[in-house]
């Protein structure tokens, strides 16, 4: 870790970033989730970046890169020109309310375009995402264990170490399981907290509240591009039934088109190599999306496959952020 930090500092000290960037030929699409003024508990608010870090990164982007919208990226890809390693695109996944309340005012003040990928059913019903429900229940329950029927396992919760282990294990299992199993596990997790305690926790962690349609429309009317992150954030890996994949991809698009008038882009939930089945990529293409975005690190070049474009997870330290933005990277 010290060696890595030393290398990153040396690159900065000797002014090597411009030389590294000369080998770049594409745009970097940055992936964020939520932006919060204060992170109360990083074990639970795992997908939220602090406003201080976000502002620092946005200033660096504005001063050193051409920040373009996803529409502009699509147009340049279609034209076959206009990408030279100096372009960056800002995206936010899931549709958290703080995208409107905290991220948008900062980005608007800096005149930086951005896009938000939302889950259409969650916008309608207000339900929070499974990983937040799991972490908040496991860490904040007073019970000594949790029985997960679908796994036929009793998760220990006596100590913080046991809660750390159980949370890591269950979140990973939620992400890799078929949707019926996910729903069964969430039902078991509900028993860990009485309704009034759940309400208190959700109020405390307002960061994980998702926007409703009025809030989404406010962003849309202010020029923010709204696109699909699926219907209810089902992770579209090989364990999911094909009918569910089709529903997630197609119905979310239809809902957004009905509510906002258009929906041209899709971001795969979670978006890693193990999270995206071949069937889901085909569905994104067949449904008529102009571009589909993963969370597989890399730069988007003129020859990158449109339904399977890379993105960079931007919630990293500032030195790492600068290195990733400037260094050469050839997508796998």
Specify the residue for token string 């904040």: 140
Torsion of CA 10, 14, 18, 23, to 10 degrees: -60
Per the CB < 8 A criterion, the answer to whether 292 and 267 are in contact is yes
Residue with tokens 């219907």, as numbered in its chain? 231
Question: Among all chains, which residue has been given the structure tokens 């990529």?
Answer: 281
Q: Which of 122, 171, 163, 109 is nearest to 139 (CA)?
A: 163
Per-residue pLDDT of the chain (332 residues; tens, 9 = 90+): 565 566 555 555 445 566 556 567 899 999 999 999 999 999 999 999 999 999 999 999 999 999 999 999 999 999 999 999 999 999 999 999 999 999 999 999 999 999 999 999 999 999 999 999 999 999 999 999 999 999 999 999 999 999 999 999 999 999 999 999 999 999 999 999 999 999 999 999 999 999 999 999 999 999 999 999 999 999 999 999 999 999 999 999 999 999 999 999 999 999 999 999 999 999 999 999 999 999 999 999 999 999 999 999 998 889 889 888 887 565 44
How many other C-beta atoms lie within 10 A of the C-beta of residue 34?
Answer: 26
Task: Give domain limits for the chain.
Answer: 53-127+210-325, 130-204
Instruction: Tell me which fold the domain 53-127+210-325 belongs to.
Output: TIM Barrel (3.20.20)
Distance CA 195, CA 287 (A): 39
What is the residue whose two structure tokens read 């991809």? 249
Tell me the pTM.
Answer: 0.94
Q: Tokens representing 249?
A: 């991809």
CA gap 89, 224 in Å, rounded: 13
């Amino acid at each position: 870790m010290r060696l890595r930090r030393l290398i990153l500092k040396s690159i900065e000290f000797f002014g090597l970033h411009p030389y590294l960037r000369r080998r770049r030929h594409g745009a970097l699409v940055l992936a964020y989730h939520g932006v919060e003024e204060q992170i109360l508990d990083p074990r639970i608010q795992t997908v939220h970046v602090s406003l201080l870090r976000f502002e620092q990164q946005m200033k660096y982007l504005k001063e050193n890169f051409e920040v373009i919208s996803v529409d502009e990226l699509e147009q340049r890809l279609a034209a076959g020109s206009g990408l030279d390693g100096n372009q960056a695109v800002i995206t936010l996944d899931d549709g958290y309310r703080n995208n409107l309340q905290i991220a948008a005012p900062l980005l608007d003040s800096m005149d930086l375009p951005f896009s938000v990928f939302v889950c259409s059913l969650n916008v309608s019903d207000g339900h929070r995402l499974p990983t937040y429900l799991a972490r908040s229940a496991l860490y904040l329950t007073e019970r000594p264990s949790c029985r997960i029927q679908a796994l036929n396992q009793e998760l220990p919760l006596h100590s913080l170490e046991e809660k750390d282990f159980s949370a890591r294990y269950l979140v990973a299992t939620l992400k890799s399981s078929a949707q019926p199993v996910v729903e069964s596990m969430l039902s078991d997790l509900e028993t860990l907290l009485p309704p009034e305690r759940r309400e208190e926790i959700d109020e405390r962690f307002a960061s994980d509240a998702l926007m409703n349609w009025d809030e989404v429309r406010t962003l849309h009317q202010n020029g923010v591009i709204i696109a699909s992150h699926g219907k209810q954030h089902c992770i579209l890996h090989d364990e999911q039934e094909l009918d569910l994949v089709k529903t997630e991809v197609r119905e979310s698009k239809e809902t957004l088109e009905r509510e906002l008038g258009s929906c041209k882009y899709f971001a795969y939930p979670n978006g890693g190599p193990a999270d995206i089945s071949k069937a889901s990529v085909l569905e994104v293409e067949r449904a008529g999306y102009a571009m589909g975005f993963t969370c597989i690190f890399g730069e988007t070049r003129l020859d990158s496959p449109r339904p399977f474009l890379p993105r960079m997870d931007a919630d990293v330290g500032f030195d790492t952020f600068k290195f990733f933005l400037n260094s050469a990277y050839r997508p796998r």
